[in-house]
Amino acid sequence: MMDKLEKLKSSEVVSVRNSTLVPLGDYDKPSEMFSFYGLEDGKEHIVIALGDWENVEVPLVRLHSECLTGDVFNSRKCDCGEQLEQSIDEIYEHGGFVVYLRQEGRGIGLYNKIDAYRLQQQGIDTFTANTHLGFEDDQRSFKVAADMLTAIGVEKVILLSNNPDKKAQLEANGVSVEKMQNTGVFHNEHNYNYLLAKVESSNHKINLPR
């Protein structure tokens, strides 16, 4: 492992800080987690390597923004937890990476996201709620994801996502997207309007029933 780690640390800008093997609890899937030096936003993002990632020609990659309410507490107001679970399963089978980004609430933070939820209860959609609070409708930058992938030697990916902006930002920052593979549609009575707003406001590829 040390030879591999020393090789990965050779990136000129963002570099690998450390890596370690971590079994993923309920998922029962071995993984390797990478931390980094030099991330431009100073946040503690990680890359989780799954399956036969070292030998696959083009890895399957999910850029997943942190969602405490969905990822940890299984909130039904979004589809984040379901997307993460599906991604781990599919990436483990194919070989690739989950890039886990500390960008809660599309970059506005947890407390502000709870404020946005309150506005959504009043009938405001998720994007308008962010702007009502004084933020951009989506403040996330995926450049840091491209930097981390580059640091571990990934130049081309199959992107597991419904969001065309992720593809655009990866390619603008040096990571080629061979193709996009959509995640599933995880709608329920609580998150339908949220998912519909993503389709109508930011062109997410979600095949929602109308």
Neighbours of 180 (CB within 10 A): 16
Distances, alpha carbon 169 to alpha carbons 96, 141, 142, in Å: 19, 8, 6
Could you say which of 79, 106, 140, 147 is catalytic? 140
Could you say which of 71, 79, 125, 138 is catalytic? 138
The beta-strand segments (E) located in the chain are 15-23, 30-37, 46-50, 60-65, 96-101, 156-160, 176-181
Would you say 22 and 33 are in contact if contact means Cβ atoms under 8 Å apart?
yes
Structure tokens at 183: 């995640």
Give the whole-angstrom CA distance, residue 175 versus residue 154: 7
Give the whole-angstrom CA distance, residue 59 versus residue 94: 7
Residue 171's identity, in one-letter code, is E
Catalytic residue status for 138: yes
Give the whole-angstrom CA distance, residue 155 versus residue 153: 6
Catalytic residue status for 71: no
Would you say 45 and 102 are in contact if contact means Cβ atoms under 8 Å apart?
yes
Give the whole-angstrom CA distance, residue 16 versus residue 32: 12
> Could you give the residue numbers annotated as active site?
138, 140
